Amino acid sequence: MTSINSKLGFRKKSLWVYHFNSGGCNGCDIEFVASLTPRFDLERYGVQLVPSPRHADVLVVTGPVTKNSEGALKTIYDQIPEPKIVIAFGTCACSGGVFNNCYNILGGADKVVPVDIKVPGCPPKPEALVELLKKLTLGD
């Protein structure tokens, strides 16, 4: 976590997050969206979901990377200004999960873009993402 925090440097602003679903069953998407609801309230740590990658600090990728989504993921990654952090959220985004070795699956997000943090789970709980983004925001 220390190297990730040093990558971001000392931040005086909130972390803005862009979400990209590269394929899969949407289980991780549901848990990601749940982390933004009032129950988990990521905004209390200054985390905002943004509609454009050009405004984002963090890219959260869910699902295995399909051959059709590879180009879109690369384009989105390139649009995020430096410094940027990529989080692979869920086992499929980490390694391809149960979809690995399918004819149209390249694997995890790290096959296409550099991934800084992997959060395994099928699906991971919203608390995992809340705790991770809290640490990134507060620099713990």
Q: Write the pLDDT tens digit of every residue in 86-135.
A: 999 999 999 999 998 899 999 999 999 999 999 999 999 999 999 999 88
pTM of the complete model: 0.90
Any idea which fold 21-136 has?
Answer: Rossmann fold (3.40.50)
d(CA 3, CA 138): 14
- Dihedral sign for Cα 121, 89, 92, 38, please: positive
- The 8-class DSSP code of residue 87 comes to E
Sequence spans of domains, the chain: 21-136
pLDDT in tens, 18-68: 999 998 899 999 999 999 999 998 999 889 999 999 999 999 999 999 999
Q: Which residues does 97 contact at the CB level (< 8 Å), separation at least 6? A: 24, 64, 90, 91, 122
> Hey, what amino acid is at 19?
H
Q: Is the N-terminal amide bond of 64 cis, ω within 30° of 0?
A: no
